[in-house]
Amino acid sequence: MKQSFILKTSVGEYSANIEKTELFSLLEAKAEGKIVNIPLGSGTSYLEGEEYNDNAILTLFPSSEVFAVVEHNLSEKEKVNLTTK
């Protein structure tokens, strides 16, 4: 089952929606000196008023450092209903 993670790296902070075992196998490969591509998941971006759907990938080189991997359990977030008057 895919889970949500925050990856804090020397090249920025990224949110990834990925299987935990897949993520850690990619991080192990990076630790062995390989270049790895971590799929972050699909999302929507906007450029000059145009909407794009894309599947972002984070490429980590052996010189890139991973400082932290934070697991997010989004199902624990309390639902908030917003209304306008």
HEC assignment per residue over the chain: CEEEEEEEECCEEEEEEEEHHHHHHHHHHHHCCCCEEEEEEEEEEEECCEEEEEEEEEEECCCCCEEEEEEECHHHCCCCCCCCC
- pTM (2 decimals)? 0.70
What is the rounded average pLDDT of the residues 68-76?
Answer: 75
Q: Which residue has the tokens 């980590």?
A: 60
Model confidence at 78: pLDDT above 80: no
The pLDDT mean for the chain works out to 85
Q: How far apart are CA 2 and CA 11, in angstroms?
A: 23
